[in-house]
Amino acid sequence: MRGYFGKTLTAMAALALTTSVAVADDVEVLHWWTSGGEAAALGVLKEDLAGKSIGWNDMPVAGGGGEAAMTAVRARVTAGNPPTAVQMLGFDIQDWAAEGALANLDEVAAAEGWDAVVPAALQAFSKYDGHWVAAPVNVHSTNWVWANKAVMDELGIAEPTTWDEFVAALQKVKDSGRTALAHGGQAWQEATMFDGVVLSVGGPEFYKAAFIDLDPAALGGEQMVEAFNRMATLRSFVDDNFSGRDWNLASAMVINGEAGFQIMGDWAKGEFINAGKVPGVDFACFRVPGTAGVVTFNSDQFAMFAVADAGAQAAQAEMARSIMSPAFQSAFNVVKGSVPSRTDVPNDAFDDCGKKAMADLAAAAEGGTLIGSMAHGHANRAAIKNAIYDVVTAHFNGEYDAETAAAELVTAVEAAQ
Ligand code: BGC
């Protein structure tokens, strides 16, 4: 492990040169955390590093799910100039590691004991070939609904636990003249809803068969047709201006009572918190009806690209160490809406939705129902994910009926393999 001595001390820098202990540079961080809540969470990380005299060189690339960010990373690496640290999801980490592009974090991982505290489901993505290549900063999950509490109370809506109850609740909101479902028409947002919808139809076995095993019988069968029918039902509850809307603007519609519900990963909670809203008072969080007990997760990790410069390497090690410290994990995830990637972080600082998310995660890990999110790169590689995105979004926009969409899913996934 390279030590860090504070980069303003030139005497120390000289010492570093003579003992091959490097002084940490700034970190250059490529990420897609550009909404208000995300920026607030990022601020926690920046501040933590600033406290260690590590400067921050920001490279934001907007777009949930990280598609645009991944395109930007590819361009930087191709140009021979990779960023120091990159926010990355699931299979993207594995793909970059397979290309030999990532730095080995084994030394800091061993010194800090990551093996003992990071759940196996996350390690499957943080490690390649038995070596740590990324530091998991959080665990999000996608099968959540966010609701405006005042709207629910006014309309006498109890928390729905079945799909039919959910549809009835959406109808009540629509009848009241509001937008029932806040949604942004972008492929990744539709795919995020699809995670919860597929799970609500067929449970974890069906979800795994379709998105992880890519079983054509699951991808093209009756249950998938039903999932597309449910998507069409949801489509009937969005407003006319949904096309292209960013997810955080959809969250804002729920926050200000213009809409009743949003189906979105728990990064949406970051928007509510950032707006000063309190769970149980201003808003409600519940699992997509019909998916209780199952968690479709995605973990934001920081992958460090292999760079030759010793100062950059020192900054990478320090950033990885900071990210994984229990105090940071608590402070960051409280703001981000996610839960810690370590199992030993107390839940005291978390609000009710956060406590529920932590308990759900632990129970799902224990019960074998913690499953990688298709929409957020934890079920299969990007090529497959994108093929599914295309079909889901085409159906949502009325290009296919449910039967055709299920058939197209089989074809598209096959072609992408
Ligand atoms: C990331 C979240 C992020 C969300 C929306 C997801 O893919 O995991 O951290 O907040 O996209 O930008």
- How confident is the model over 74-99, as pLDDT tens digits? 999 999 999 999 999 999 999 999 99
Instruction: Clarify whether residues 131 and 272 are in a common domain.
Output: no
Say whether both 75 and 201 belong to one domain. no
Judgement on whether residues 53 and 12 belong to the same structural domain of the protein: yes
267 lines ligand 1 (CB under 6 A): yes
Residue 362 lies in a domain: no
pLDDT at 9 over 80: no
Based on the fold, state whether residues 134 and 226 are members of the same structural domain. no
Question: What is the token pair recorded at 145?
Answer: 């609904």
Cα(136) to ligand 1 centroid in Å equals 13
Q: What integer is the mean pLDDT of 47-65?
A: 94
Question: 393 CB less than 6 Å from ligand 1?
Answer: no
| Confidence band for 368, pLDDT divided at 50, 70 and 90 | very high
Q: Please compute the mean of the pLDDT values over residues 119-140 and round it to a whole number.
A: 98
pLDDT at 22: 72
Å from CA of 47 to ligand 1 middle: 20
Domain contains 204: yes
Per-residue pLDDT, averaged over 331-345, amounts to: 98
Tell me what percent of the residues of the chain surpass a pLDDT of 70.
95
For residue 338, give the ligand 1 atom closest to its CA: 9
Confidence of residue 1 (pLDDT cuts 50, 70, 90): very low
Is 214 part of any domain? yes
Residues 261, 392, single domain; the answer is yes
Burial of 162 by CB count in 10 Å (0-12 exposed, 13-18 middle, 19+ buried)?
A: exposed
Residues 117 and 183 in one domain: no
Q: Within this chain, do residues 162 and 284 fall inside the same structural domain, yes or no?
A: yes
Q: Which atom of ligand 1 is nearest to the CA of 337?
A: 10
Using CA atoms of 162, 167, 168, 170 in order, give the dihedral in degrees to the nearest 10: 130
CA of 205 to the centre of ligand 1 (A): 25
- For the segment 160-181, what is each residue's pLDDT rounded down to a tens digit? 999 999 999 999 999 999 999 9
Instruction: Please tell me if the CB atom of residue 269 comes closer than 6 angstroms to any atom of ligand 1.
Output: no
Same-domain pairing of 201 and 78: no
Determine whether the shortest distance from the Cβ of 138 to ligand 1 is under 6 A: no
Residue 20: band (very low, low, confident or very high) from pLDDT cuts 50, 70, 90: very low
Domain count, the chain: 2
Mean pLDDT, all residues of the chain? 94
Whether residues 122 and 64 share a domain: the answer is yes
Which pLDDT does position 23 carry in this prediction? 79
Residues 393 and 249 in one domain: yes
Query: Do 349 and 390 sit in the same domain of this protein?
Result: no
Classify residue 92: in a domain, yes or no.
Answer: yes
Return the pLDDT at 78.
Answer: 94
State if residue 140 touches ligand 1 by the CB under 6 angstroms criterion: yes
What is the residue with the minimal CA distance to atom 12 of ligand 1? 64
Ligand 1 atom closest to Cα of residue 34: 12
**Is residue 214's pLDDT more than 90?**
yes
Is this prediction's pTM over 0.85?
Answer: yes
Mean pLDDT for the stretch of residues 320-334: 97
Tell me, what CATH number does 317's domain have? 3.40.190.10
Cα distances from 68 to residues 31, 61, 62, 222, 302, in angstroms, run 10, 6, 7, 34, 16
Taking residues 383-389, what's their average pLDDT? 98
Residue 24 pLDDT grade (very low, low, confident, very high; cuts 50, 70, 90): confident
Checking if the pLDDT of 379 tops 50, the result is yes
More confident residue, 314 or 4: 314
Can you give the residue range of the structural domain that contains 214?
141-296+372-416
Give the pLDDT confidence of 240-255 residue by residue, as tens digits: 999 999 999 999 999 9
Give the whole-number percent of the chain exceeding pLDDT 90: 93
Note whether residue 253 is domain-resident: yes
CA distance 232 to 312: 49
CA angle 389, 184, 165 (to 5 degrees): 90
Question: Which residue's CA is minimally distant from atom 4 of ligand 1?
Answer: 64
**Cα end-to-end span (Å), the chain:** 40
- Can you give the pLDDT at residue 21? 57
| Apex 79 CA angle, 127 and 54, nearest 5 | 60
Q: Does residue 199 fall inside a structural domain?
A: yes
Whether residue 230 has its Cβ less than 6 Å from ligand 1: no
Is the residue at 366 inside a domain? Answer: no
367 lies in a domain? no
Reading phi first (left if > 0) and then psi (alpha if -120 to 50, else beta), residue 332 is in alpha
Please tell me whether residues 406 and 263 are part of one structural domain. Answer: yes
